[in-house]
Structure 1
Amino acid sequence: MNLVSQYFENSYEIKAKTLNTLVIENTEHFANFLRTLIEVSNKESEEIELIDDYKKIDISKTTDIIFDLFNIEANAAPILKKLYTELEEDLCSEDMYIKKLEMESAVANIVDELTYRSRFSLKSDEINYQNFFKALSVEFDYEKTSILDRLIEYIKVSSELLNKKLFIIVNLDSFLTEEDIVELSKFLCYNEIRVLALQNKITRQVRTCEHLRIIDQDLCEI
């Protein structure tokens, strides 16, 4: 996967199974690149392209730009909607279908009795399983985990349920310790998920396997 832009002399390869770090030291250049990247993700510009296997990828659909690790949420509505759809499909599997029918019958009997007992004229419909799972508060259980654990969980579920191919994290080093980055790198080693750390500067030690490119103050690429 390659990131192609007028901001680079050469396209930047974003590799799987490692942490990709792109440092743009010139503050104005960094801000302009980030602004353009956001515009591309909102389909307001085409100045940055993502190419995979010689094909252009829709950044707005396949890329997640993360600015604040404190506010990432695996239990966000779009993710839960996909999860509920998957759970509903599983209800129709061979080993769950009979249980599904039994539950629907029991619920229908209760609703019929409540409808009969009510002083109002009521009617009911089939179970809406999106609303059913929401009413039961079915969600990912990760409330007490660290920032790193929340990030890894978010990346995992977003890639699997929303089909996100690339996660761009702005100033990752501001949120994670060097030990956290080592653990994140270990996670990436066993997955095909691509993560790009977009930095304005880097002061920590760079890991041997880290895929690093630096665009310095004079816009020279190292």
Structure 2
Amino acid sequence: MMLAHPLLRSPIEFKENRVPVLIVENGQLFRRLIGDLLAQENGEPGEFALSENAGLTEIGKNVQMTLNPLFPELDGRRILTKIQQMAVTAAEDQPAKTAECLAALNDYGAVLTAAIPFNVTFSEMESADDVVKALAFRMDTEEMSVPEQLLEMMRLHRECFRKRLFVFVNLKSFFSENEITLFYQSVFYEKLSVLLLESGQKEPVRPCEEVRIIDKDLCEF
């Protein structure tokens, strides 16, 4: 898989156990590249081209961009919807257990109704979907570190939305060197494709990184 742009001397290539790092020291170009990729992620026109096996592939369907690594997308509406769908499928795969649960909840509702000294009723549980909605499934990130949350976000978006390339802006500004090391190890283990867009060089180049620098004068090396 490769990512190209007219202002880059050559395409960025994604290889197993390697992390491309594009450092853009020119603020105007940095802003333009981010704006282009963000627009294309949302289905709008832009100048980036994503290709694989000599054929173009749609950026909006394949790229997930994270502007602020401190707040990975784990609780958006479409994610919660996907999680609920998975929970419903799991419940439907266990029809006997689900039927038992529905009966127990409705019986308990009837008990509570009888205990209230007024003429009340309740909404009976009729399907697995009703139970799942009541349980309000969501991602549990309370005990996760930020790098762990990022990894979970990538796994989730790959599984649920078929995202294949994950782009992070200034990730190294937020993580320690040890956190970056652990992050890379997890990325390699999960066989994820990652691109780091950085506005400056934060640490020595690691053996697993393929660093490209565009300086303030737009010289690329």
Tell me if TM exceeds 0.5: yes
Q: Which residue does the alignment assign to 1:103? A: 101
- Give yes or no for contact 2:98–2:128 (8 Å, CA) kept in 1: no
Shift of 1:186: 0.8
- Give yes or no for contact 1:18–1:188 (8 Å, CA) kept in 2: no
Q: Measure, in 2, the Cα distance between the counterparts of 1:216 and 1:25.
A: 5
The 5-angstrom pairing of residues 69-84 of structure 1 reads 69-84=69-84
Q: Which residue does the alignment assign to 2:132? A: 133
Q: Which residue does the alignment assign to 1:6? A: 6
Q: Which residue does the alignment assign to 1:208? A: 207
Shift of 1:55: 2.8
- Whether 1:32 aligns to 2:32 is yes
**SS of residue matched to 1:213:** strand
Shift of 1:16: 3.7
**SS of residue matched to 2:190:** coil
**SS of residue matched to 2:70:** helix
**SS of residue matched to 1:17:** coil
Shift of 1:119: 3.3
Instruction: Report sequence identity in percent.
Output: 27
CA RMSD of aligned residues (A): 2.5
The alpha-carbon distance between structure 1 residues 221 and 75, as it changes in their structure 2 partners (threshold 3 A), is same
Alignment TM-score, normalising by the size of structure 2: 0.86
Q: Which residue does the alignment assign to 1:42? A: 42
User: Which amino acid is the alignment partner of residue 177 of structure 1?
Assistant: S
Shift of 1:73: 3.8
Q: Measure, in 2, the Cα distance between the counterparts of 1:73 and 1:37.
A: 17
The alpha-carbon distance between structure 1 residues 42 and 139, as it changes in their structure 2 partners (threshold 3 A), is closer
Please list every run of at least 4 consecutive aligned residues from structure 1 whose deviation after the TM superposition is greater than 4 angstroms: 108-118, 120-125
User: Which amino acid is the alignment partner of residue 212 of structure 1?
Assistant: V
The 5-angstrom pairing of residues 211-222 of structure 1 reads 211-222=210-221
Deviates more, 1:144-153 or 1:117-126: 117-126
Q: Measure, in 1, the Cα distance between the counterparts of 2:45 and 2:12.
A: 19
Shift of 1:80: 2.2
Q: Measure, in 2, the Cα distance between the counterparts of 1:86 and 1:97.
A: 15
The alpha-carbon distance between structure 1 residues 123 and 141, as it changes in their structure 2 partners (threshold 3 A), is closer
- Give yes or no for contact 1:115–1:123 (8 Å, CA) kept in 2: no
**SS of residue matched to 1:169:** strand
Q: Deviations over 1:61-83 (max 9, x none)?
A: 22111111222242333222212
**SS of residue matched to 1:190:** helix
Shift of 1:106: 3.1
User: Which amino acid is the alignment partner of residue 34 of structure 2?
Assistant: L
User: Which amino acid is the alignment partner of residue 100 of structure 1?
Assistant: T
Alignment TM-score, normalising by the size of structure 1: 0.85
The 5-angstrom pairing of residues 108-119 of structure 1 reads 108-110=106-108, 119=119
Q: Which residue does the alignment assign to 1:183? A: 182
Deviates more, 1:183-192 or 1:13-22: 13-22
- Give yes or no for contact 1:74–1:158 (8 Å, CA) kept in 2: no
Q: Measure, in 2, the Cα distance between the counterparts of 1:101 and 1:176.
A: 47
